[in-house]
Amino acid sequence: MLTELSQLKEAALQIKVDLLTLCAQKSIHIGGDLSVADVMTALWQYQMHYDPQNPEDESRDRFILSKGHAAAVTSLNQAAIGCFRKEDFFQEYATNGGRFSMHSCKLVNPFVEVSTGSLGHGLSIGAGIAAGLKRKGNTRSRVYVVMGDGEQCEGSVWEAAMHASHYQLGNLVAIVDCNGLEADGTLEELTGLDDVGQKYRAFGWNVLEINGHRMEEIKDAFDSLPPPTAQAPTVIVAHTVKGNGVSFMEGNVNWHAGKMSAEQFEQAMKEIREKAEA
């Protein structure tokens, strides 16, 4: 586990470098991987209680990647904490019989709690798991669910939000990666989500709003989570930039997913390192 801010910032940079390296070889969901990379680094490498040697441990925190297309950033963080070798991830990504792909699959990868890819299901599943943990008397574990802001237009998200509040699932923590873009346009033009924090607040949730690229704020948000025995579920609304750190990807819907050319890779690597130093 990394505890220092400087270590976390360095780890986040390494994750971004690895994402870009993969994106020069294969098509990945680079836009939404980069927007959530800082939050995911802090979640996996600082916050979550998770033993890579024992992914079935009852006392573990549970993680559900509801925006299932951000599988690469998840797997790279899992590799960083020792779930499997990073070399194996690179070698097996999007190959026949490989454990890693554009979406996470539990059938082939034991470090995946729930297979995802079809948006809008993670919060309901997470609420169910959180309720089960409470019933079993588990007062230690939390359930973390990472969603996209575009994903919020799935009605099932709000059924789960209402349910989690009613059943006082304080052990449930949702994180919404608010990058303002979906796969083919802005949220403003497609769904009009508006103030997502206000909506969760209206559903009885504890709401934390952060800049999802400032490691200080991300760490503070995790540090200030109420205990799993609290009554209200918590949502961390992370304001982010899709394609963060790479000028030709930032806010560009064409980079929801894709593969870079050699020239693009060179530029992206230079920019991501410069941004980390700034």
Ligand X SMILES: Cc1ncc(C[n+]2csc(CCOP(=O)(O)OP(=O)(O)O)c2C)c(N)n1
Phi and psi for 235 in degrees, rounded to 5? -120, 135
Q: Which of 9, 67, 134, 219 binds ligand X (CB under 6 A)?
A: 67
Nearer residue to ligand X within complex by CB, 87 or 189: 189
Q: Which of 27, 54, 59, 118 binds ligand X (CB under 6 A)?
A: 118
250 CB-near residues (< 8 Å, 6+ apart): 241, 242, 243, 244
Stretch that binds ligand X, among 26-34, 79-87, 165-173, 260-268 (CB under 6 A): 26-34
Site for ligand X in 253-272 (CB under 6 A): none
Nearer residue to ligand X within complex by CB, 226 or 251: 251
> What residues pair up with 208 in beta bridges, in sequence order?
236
Q: Which of 181, 215, 236, 246 binds ligand X (CB under 6 A)?
A: 181
Entry field: residues in the chain: 278
CB contact at 8 A, 243 and 30 = yes
Q: Report the candidate in 117, 109, 81, 116 with the shortest Cα–Cα distance to residue 93.
A: 109
Applying CB under 6 A, does 38 fall inside the site for ligand X? no
Q: Which of 78, 79, 104, 150 binds ligand X (CB under 6 A)?
A: 150
Q: Which of 108, 183, 225, 269 binds ligand X (CB under 6 A)?
A: 183
Give how many residues touch ligand X by CB under 6 A.
20
CB contact at 8 A, 23 and 30 = yes
Least distance in angstroms from the C-beta of 69 to ligand X: 5
Q: Which of 149, 163, 197, 234 binds ligand X (CB under 6 A)?
A: 149
CB contact at 8 A, 157 and 151 = yes
Stretch that binds ligand X, among 27-35, 89-97, 135-143, 222-230 (CB under 6 A): 27-35
CA distance 145 to 251: 24
CA distance 207 to 203: 10
Q: Which of 11, 32, 37, 196 binds ligand X (CB under 6 A)?
A: 32
CA distance 231 to 227: 9
Please give the residue ranges that form the binding site for ligand X (CB under 6 A): 29, 31-32, 35, 67, 69, 117-120, 148-151, 177, 179, 181-183, 242
